[in-house]
Amino acid sequence: MERKNIRFLLQYDGSRYDGWQKQGNTENTIQGRLEQVLSRLTGEQAEVFGAGRTDAGVHALGQVANAHLATDMTEREILDYVNRYLPEDILALKADRVSERFHSRLNAVGKVYLYRIDMAEKSQVFQRRYIYTLGQTLDTEAMSQAAVYLTGTHDFRSFCAGRQVRKSTVRTVEEIAVSCEGTVVELRVRGDGFLYNMVRILAGTLIEVGLGKRTPESMTQILEAEEREAAGFTAPARGLFLAEVLY
Amino acid sequence: MERKNIRFLLQYDGSRYDGWQKQGNTENTIQGRLEQVLSRLTGEQAEVFGAGRTDAGVHALGQVANAHLATDMTEREILDYVNRYLPEDILALKADRVSERFHSRLNAVGKVYLYRIDMAEKSQVFQRRYIYTLGQTLDTEAMSQAAVYLTGTHDFRSFCAGRQVRKSTVRTVEEIAVSCEGTVVELRVRGDGFLYNMVRILAGTLIEVGLGKRTPESMTQILEAEEREAAGFTAPARGLFLAEVLY
């Protein structure tokens, strides 16, 4: 039987999972669930490669993952099979056959994340898992100004939760767009790669700017400090979405 | 201390509850949770009267409930207290002092329910608890035509899940509006009162019309039959919202 490299486009509600990546013997990860279903499909242990290792509680609108599968099924049949057996908080939007050499993570040239903040005093009942309820008004103009300082190629060590020991912490952030609709502020962050917790620390720092606790100009000092303590808090996982993987 | 009659406007995600009404010794109801919080507030057993007894899994955008509370707190303080102690899937939007004689259920002159159906083949990950994923295309024109036959004052016994034994099953449905946005069909049902499961059976029957399994004209025979078997299936709880209580 032919072995096909299948690329999946995935959406998930990360609320009840320990993140994307399998860790030790916990199966309660998105990767773990997908591997279970694909192993069932082929009858052999499947290995799934994901583009972004989203943390516990983080969601995805457009995660990309691939797996080499020995199956006679068409892409359409694989897609239907996967959606029949995946839990209802994980959905495969597409399943496409790609070149044998395609690797979701290694071939990715960038990613887009969204971070959603609600300024409303009361939490939204039906959106509560998908937004960070701040309950305070943000100065989005100041946040946009601060975003300019953070855009570009920098050493983002201050925005990294300290797992990166010897590896480079230089990344390029192409865009941080701040938009507002009603009481909801949305940050859209596009970059070539992100350090551990980087988007959540960027979001937390920009929230502190929006609250007037930091100035837009102080972003420069944070970058120069090259230590986690210089930056703002880590915004909660529930507001974060991996929106798109760029190739 | 003065005893005040406080009227609450409530929103909730009914997914994990056994409905509004306390039943025997289960505390896992919206009413039960609210009574717990209000009993804690006053130091005595609180009794809460709700306008609509929503079923297990049914949501509310605008449920109304009242309770007589012996407290010196202002309405604002009561609202803040309640929201501090309620779980995050129940939210009080308002707390207003009303006349001693006000009763949420007995004074209600009507209610508005929404029923949401998704025609998309794939379920929506982030909306999955708040919509019924049908995965088939509906003829909303035929559904609107059928809705005309169901509007007005009728004996709705065929649309009742059989708890009403000797009581009248005559109700007035003032409006059933069928609207469509993208793949989502929304039914808006306004009436003076509703029988057990009535909105969900109306929704199920209209869905069967939309699928071409029943004609709009056949609604007349269903009403005339005066038995549950004549009507369509009971649409799932997750698509149903108590939107508004009218006084």
On average, the pLDDT of chain B sits at 95
pLDDT at A165 (0 to 100): 66
Interface test with B, best of A125, A128, A241 (most B CBs within 10 A): A125
Per-residue confidence (pLDDT) for residue B60, from 0 to 100: 98
Each residue of B23-59: pLDDT tens digit? 776 679 999 999 999 999 999 999 999 999 999 999 9
> What stretches in chain A show pLDDT beneath 50?
none
Report whether A51 contacts A246 (CB < 8 A): no
Per-residue confidence (pLDDT) for residue A124, from 0 to 100: 83
Q: Where residue B116 falls among pLDDT bands split at 50, 70, 90?
A: very high
- Chain A residues near residue B128 by CB distance under 8 angstroms: 13, 88-89
* Predicted pLDDT of residue A129: 93
Q: Residue B25 burial by CB count (10 A; 0-12/13-18/19+): exposed, middle or buried? A: exposed
Nearest CA in chain B to A84: B122
Q: Which of A59, A91, A122 sits opposite B123 (nearest CB)?
A: A91
Q: Give every CB contact of residue B221 below 8 A, 6+ residues apart in sequence.
A: B230
| Residue percentage of chain B with pLDDT more than 90 | 92
Q: A55, A72, A80, A118: which one is catalytic?
A: A55
* Spatial distance between the Cα atoms of B225 and B201, rounded to a whole number of angstroms: 15
Q: Please report how many Cα atoms fall inside a 13 Å half-sphere around the Cα of residue A153, on the Cβ side.
A: 3
pLDDT of residue B26: 67
- Domains of chain A and any CATH numbers: 3-98 (3.30.70.580), 110-246 (3.30.70.660)
CB contact under 8 A, B123 and A90: no
Assembly ipTM: 0.80
Q: Is A118 a catalytic residue?
A: no
| Helical residues (DSSP H) of A8-95, grouped into ranges | 30-42, 75-85
Partners of A54 on chain B (C-beta within 8 Å) are: none
Main-chain dihedrals φ then ψ at residue B32, nearest 5 degrees: -60, -45
Q: Which tokens sit at B139?
A: 């003829």
Alpha-carbon span A17 to A24, nearest angstrom: 14
In angstroms, the Cα distances linking A93 to A67, A80, A151, B59, B116 are: 15, 10, 31, 28, 22
Compute the Cα dihedral for B104, B106, B108, B110 and give only its sign: positive
Q: Are the Cβ atoms of B123 and A88 closer than 8 angstroms?
A: yes
Note the pLDDT of residue A23: 76
φ, ψ for residue B125, nearest 5 deg: -60, -45
pLDDT digits (tens, 9 = 90+) for B153-190: 999 999 998 765 678 999 999 999 999 999 999 999 99
Q: Tell me, what's the pLDDT at A164?
A: 59
